[in-house]
Structures are given as structure tokens and as C-alpha cells.
A and B are shown apart, each in its own frame.
Chain A
Amino acid sequence: MAPRIYGLMAEFEDATALVAATERAHEAGYKRMDAYSPFPIEELHHAMGSPHSRLPLIVLVGGIVGCLGGFFLQYWASAMAYPINVGGRPLNSWPAFIPVTFECTILVAALSAVLGMLGLNGLPTPYHPVFNVERFALASRSRFFLVIESKDRRFRLEDTREFLVTLHPRDIWTVDY
């Protein structure tokens, strides 16, 4: 058996070529693949047929937790733990609690957006096999890459390489672990 590899990487010169190639690979039935680009390309996500992000739900939950947590923190502190009677005014003076409730909502929602994004992306990931290809340093500058992973059910080193050649990449590399 040949030494295990992470997958095959094809390099493209421009965004349109990468999107077209990704679409073709998706049509050919490849599932375990990823496209790499130096800036966000909305079409790539469609081309890979990936599901929608769950991030908005995480942020919504974060916002609700922040809102309720912020309000009840104030309610508990002002009406239960440390009640101060000022001329018989109500202890649960909720209109005065709105600004802090609002700030807590935003704070927890924003933290969930950032931590949620990092979590869903599995970052930080200090090591990743794609970095083993020297040319891949250009993925953060000007070049576009498509990687089909060896874990894909349809992955056969020679067949997949031939398939990638039909996409007219600039070059093809094997990605070692």
C-alpha cells in the first residue's frame, strides 16, 4: 500500500476557474473536499453544496442568554440581594435596567459570534496538512486551490489525479500528512 496522503491539491489562477472546478468536482460526486482562496467567494460555498451556517442560531441563543442574564442580574442585585428603599420607589425599577440589559445582550451575542465562528471552523488549528505544500503559501496572497481529500469514498489516487487534470489546473500536488 502506498504511503497515506491527505489528498490531492490543484492550483488555479483565478476565482472563476476555482468556482468552476469546485462545481465540477461536486458534480462528479466528491464530498470530502475544500477550496482555498485569498478572499471570501460566495459562489464557492454554493459550488461545494455545503449546508448553511449554524452561526446565526448560536448568536441568537447568545443574545437571549445575555439579555436574560443581564436583566436578572440587576433584578437579583437590586430587589433581592441588596434592596435599597428610596422613598418607597419600586425595587424592580425595570426601565432603569434597560441600558445594562441591552449592553449585556450585545456583549454575549458578539462573544458567541466570534467564539462560535472559531469553534465551527475548528480554529485555532496550528497544524494542517495543506501547509505542507510550499506553493500553498500563495493561498493567502493571489492563488486559488482545490483539495480533494483521500478520505473521500470516491478517492483513487490515479483516477482523481486524472479527474483534476480535466479541470485544467496550473499544477497538481499530492498533500502529505
Chain B
Amino acid sequence: MDPTHPAPSPPLIPPGYTFGSVTDKISAIVLGKRTPMGWWAGFAVAFLFAMLLFVSLSYLVVKGIGIWGNNQPVGWAFDITNFVWWIGIGHAGTLISAILLLLRQSWRTSINRFAEAMTLFAVACAGIFPLFHTGRPWLAYWLFPYPNTMGVWPQFRSPLIWDVFAVSTYATVSLLFWFVGLIPDLATLRDRSQSRVGRIVYGMLAMGWRGSARHWHQYDTAYLLLAGLATPLVVSVHTVVSFDFAIGIVPGWHTTIFPPYFVAGAIYSGFAMVLTLAIPIRAVYGLNDFITSRHLQNMAKVMLVTGLIVAYGYLTEAFIAWYSGDLYEGFVPINRANGPYRIAYWSLILCNIAIPQLLWFKRTRLNPAALWVISIVVNIGMWLERFVIIVVSLHRDFLPSSWGMYSPSFWDYSTFLGTIGLFLSLLFLFLRFLPMISIFEMRTMLPEAKVEVDWRDVD
């Protein structure tokens, strides 16, 4: 093939769609009177696990965090592993919406809405863990600076307080970004809903949006500014999360590679989760025209690149541990690969580095089933990565006399599975009640959206 004239990429929306048909197709999923049986089945299973979370957290509040397996020297275990895992997953949404918007990657349009929703739900799940790990979640507001009768203020030199600010800012800005993106589509649902309740609820949420050109102008400006603000924010969040570890002195945590390698890992796991969700959703709802194989391929490529950055992070970690000449740092990689938790370490290498190399091949990237399996493997690998960083570093730090082992309890597992249930329940509700693809942005992708104006007459 002539390299100066590469074959044109396949279109993002197949020809034949109009403003009306795109609108009808996406809004029908929400406005359809009949809820598909598959939805009920999926929601029921997810809700069952969400109830498991409810039970686990209630029991925790009654008994205390002793119901978890955490104990000295492993004070952070499943809870923080899950927190970092969920926060990492939550990075894809804002990355897709903000960074790809600024980079003019128009293929983001059909996946940004549900990736943003996924981000919100993942951040909500993430927030549960540190909140309940405090043991007294009803006093969590002590984390925020507010004038109080005790006369104390938070320690602003602590990365844990930075984390409070980073995660709560991220949750707020992600919510704002998602909601602003929804306003025009809520107006569409208001105008098309057949039921009175639908018209009232969507109408209130749409706030009287009427598509005025003056409004669109302010709207576009706001959306672009939000994207510009969210871009450094998304990078900062996992950087601050990595500070929770890197600022500490525990061998295996105290490294400068952590911020970039955590951010790359977050994007890696976030895209993996988007693929895990997008592949079944597009099959079930027949959205292959909007979420095309080109979208899946692009996401697979992002995963491949970020996966390689993560692999580089692992290599640097091991190299610096040896190069530092520090006895305790040097012990970390040996203990990871050869200690009591070596199965977790080698599974992590297999899941995060070895298997994703299949993405080099176009045949893998074009095969949704293979991509789906790889995305789940990466999700598992990224969870193991956090487990290895947190638990394996803590269980053998300096003096062998203070070494110990960690094994999760039933409640550790039930809380984790419970958050997956909560995440999926929220996702099911989102799919049923809000448009999972941005309708107005899909309209702009159609060829008929192009305006042919003779600019000599203007200005």
C-alpha cells in the first residue's frame, strides 16, 4: 500500500442514518415501554450483590473493621486495593470525554457517555472503601476542613488529605461534566417521552433547554473549558493516589516512578472496563452501527500502549530496587517473585503483560469475543497489581521479627463482590433511564450536519 495515501478509515456511523433515525434509535432504548427480560435478569443478579454489600457494610458498622482480615503488619489490604482498583477504572470516562475531545478524536463520541457514567459509579464504589476503613464512617466529615468546637484542623501535609481533596474534586467534576453533556439529550427525551411522568422528570432535569444558538455557544464554551480543566485533573487524581504510597517509607512504595506508572495503569484498567461493558452492551442493544469495530480497535490500541507503559513501570521498579543498593528495597522484587504471595505476582505478570501482547495482532483486535476476554484478564491483572503493591510490600517490610501474613476474610470478599454488584446495578439503571450514547453529539457526526456557507457574505 502506498504509505502517503493510507486507506481511509471506515466511517464512524454507516451511511443511511439521519438526525431523526439516530435520535429515535438511541432514545427508543430509554423510552420503550417494555423493559427487556434480559435487563430484569441482569439487574436482579446485580442487585442481589448490591444487597450483599449492604449486609457487609451494616455488619462492619456493628462489629468494627476487625471483621476484615487486615491486621498488623498488613493494615491496608483488600479495602485499599479495591479503592485503587475502582478509582483506576474511573479514569477512562473523563479521559475519553476530556482528553480525546481536546485531541479531536471524534470516535470518542459514541462511547463517552457511558464511559462517564461508568466513571461516576466506579468512583462511588471506590469511595466506600476508605470511608468504611475509617471504622467510623459517621465521622467521615472530620476529613474536611470545617470550623469545629474541638479547634483542630486536618493535617494538610498528609497525602491522605490530598487524596480526600483529589477524589472528591474528581467525583464532583466528573458529575458536572456528565450532567452538562446530558442536558441537550434530556431535552430530547422530554420532547419525545409519551408518559407524563417522563415528561415532567426529564423536563425538570433538562431545565428548559431549547437548543437556542446563543445557548449552544455558551454551552460549547463551557464544555470545552470543562474538558480543559478535567484533563490535568484526571492526571492528578491517580498521581495523588500514588502519593499515598510513594510518600511513605515502606520498601516497594517509596519510589518516584509511582505517579506516571499509576496513571498509565489507571487508563489501562479503565479502557479494559469500557471494553468489558461495551462489547456485551452493543451486542444486546444492537448498537453495532454506533460502537463499531473501529471503536473497539482503537480502545484495544490504547490498552496495548498503556499496558506497555505499565510493563516499563514494573521493570523500572525492579531495576531501581537493585540499583539503589538498599538491602530492604532489593528484597522487595525477590519477595514478590519468590515469597509466599508469588502466585499473585506471576498471575499479575501473566494478566497484565503476557496475555495483552495478543493485541499486537489485528485479528485479535477485530475479534470482539477475544477482546472481551482480554479486557477481563486485564481487569483481574490490575487488581492483582494493587494487591501486590499494597499487601506484599507491607507483609515483609524491615525487621523479620515484624513480618506477618494476610489472608482475606469472608467479609473482605463479600464487600468487594458487593461493590461490583452496586456498580452493575447503577449501570443497569443508567442504561434503562438515560441515553447511553450522546444523541446530540452523534447528530454532529452525520454528513448532513455540515453547513455550507459562503463566508464572503459574513463579517
Contacts and interface: CB of A to CB of B under 8 A. Distances in A.
A113 B222 contact: yes
A125 interface: yes
A20 B452 CA distance: 9
Given A40-B220, A106-B232, A125 B208 contact: yes
B218 A121 contact: yes
Given A48-B213, A82-B151, A106-B232, A142 B222 contact: no
Nearest to B150: A82
Q: Which applies to chain B's interface (DSSP): helix, strand, loop or mixed?
A: helix
Interface string B441-452: 101100011111
Given A77-B145, A110-B226, A123 B208 contact: yes
A124 B207 contact: yes
A117 B222 contact: yes
Contacts of B229: 59, 63, 106, 109-110, 113
A114 B176 contact: yes
Interface in A34-76: 34-48, 50, 53, 55-56, 59, 63, 73-74
Contact of B180 (A42, A117, A137, A138): A117
B141 interface: no
A61 to B, nearest CB: 12
Interface stretch (B18-26, B40-48, B423-431): B18-26
B217 A100 contact: no
B282 interface: no
Most B C-beta atoms less than 10 A away, residue of A22, A43, A46, A140: A140
Contact of A41 (B169, B179, B187, B216): B216
A46 B457 CA distance: 11
Given A20-B453, A121-B219, A44 B213 contact: yes
A100 B156 contact: yes
A89 to B, nearest CB: 9
Contacts of B243: 99
A46 B459 contact: yes
Interface string A70-110: 00011001100110100000000100110110111011011
A148 to B, nearest CB: 13
| Category for how many chain B residues contact A | 35 or more
B211 A36 contact: yes
Contacts of B399: none
Nearest to A114: B176
Contacts of B162: 99-100, 103
B413 interface: no
A34 B453 contact: no
A147 to B, nearest CB: 9
A92 to B, nearest CB: 11
Most A C-beta atoms less than 10 A away, residue of B173, B212, B225, B226: B225
Interface of B: 18-20, 23, 145, 151-157, 159, 161-162, 165-166, 169, 172-173, 176-177, 179-180, 184, 187-188, 190-192, 203-204, 207-222, 225-226, 229-230, 232-233, 236, 240, 243, 440-441, 443-444, 448-453, 457-459
6 tightest Cβ-Cβ pairs between the two chains A and B: A124-B207, A117-B222, A125-B208, A142-B19, A77-B153, A40-B216
19 contacts: A38-B188, A38-B211, A40-B216, A40-B440, A42-B220, A47-B453, A74-B156, A100-B156, A103-B162, A103-B165, A106-B230, A106-B236, A111-B176, A114-B179, A117-B221, A121-B212, A125-B208, A141-B23, A141-B188
